[in-house]
Amino acid sequence: MVIVQANKLANTQEIKKRLKEILEILMVNEVTKPLTPQKLKAILLALGPQFVELGRILAEHNDILPKDYYDELYSSIPNKSSINYDRIEGIIENEYGASMDDVFTDFSKNPTYQSPLFQCHKAVLKDGPQVIVKIQDPKLKNYISEDTDLIKKALEVLRIGPSPSDTIDLNMIFDELWNIAQKELNFFVEADNATRFYKLNSGEKNIIAPKVNNKYNTSNILVMEYIPGITLGNNEELIANGYQLSEISKILSENYVKQIFTDGFFQAYPNPQNILFYKSNLAWTNFTLMSELSSYDLEALKNIIKAISSKDVDQISNIIMSINTNDISKNLDNLKIELSQILTSPSILNYKSQSLPVTNIIRAIVALLNKLDIYLPESYSHLLSGLISIENIIERLDFNTKLIDAIKNTVFPVSQEPISKQEEKVPNNYNDIIPEITNKQNKNENIINSLLTKENSNEELNEPNHNLNMPLIEDPLKLESLKKANLENSQQKSNSEDNIVDHNKDLEQAIKESLERSKKLEQDVKVVDAKSEEHPSPIHIVKKSEHDNSSSNNTKLEFKFKLDDLSIKSI
Residues 416, 498: contact at Cβ < 8 Å? no
Is the pLDDT score of 428 beyond 50? no
Residues 6 or more apart from 550 whose CB is under 8 A from it? none
Residues 408, 258: contact at Cβ < 8 Å? no
Confidence (pLDDT) at 164: 53
Confidence (pLDDT) at 473: 41
Is the pLDDT score of 26 beyond 80? yes
Across all residues in the chain, what is the average pLDDT? 74
Summarised one tens digit per residue, pLDDT across range 238-249 is 999 999 999 999
Instruction: Grade residue 76 by pLDDT with cuts at 50, 70 and 90.
Output: low
Classify 527 in phi/psi space as left (phi over 0), alpha (psi -120 to 50) or beta.
beta
Q: What percent of the chain has pLDDT over 70?
A: 64
Nearest to 430 by CA among 354, 518, 490: 518
What mean pLDDT do residues 80-88 have? 80
Q: At what angle do helices 140-157 and 2-28 cross, to 10 degrees?
A: 60
Confidence (pLDDT) at 553: 40
Confidence (pLDDT) at 435: 47
Instruction: Grade residue 364 by pLDDT with cuts at 50, 70 and 90.
Output: confident
The letter for the amino acid at 249 is S
Confidence (pLDDT) at 532: 40
Confidence (pLDDT) at 10: 57
Confidence (pLDDT) at 423: 41
What mean pLDDT do residues 217-225 have? 96
Which residue did the predictor score with more confidence, 544 or 86? 86
Residues 250, 219: contact at Cβ < 8 Å? no
Summarised one tens digit per residue, pLDDT across range 527-557 is 334 444 444 433 333 333 344 443 434 433 3
Is the pLDDT score of 46 beyond 80? yes
What mean pLDDT do residues 234-239 have? 94
Is the pLDDT score of 106 beyond 90? yes
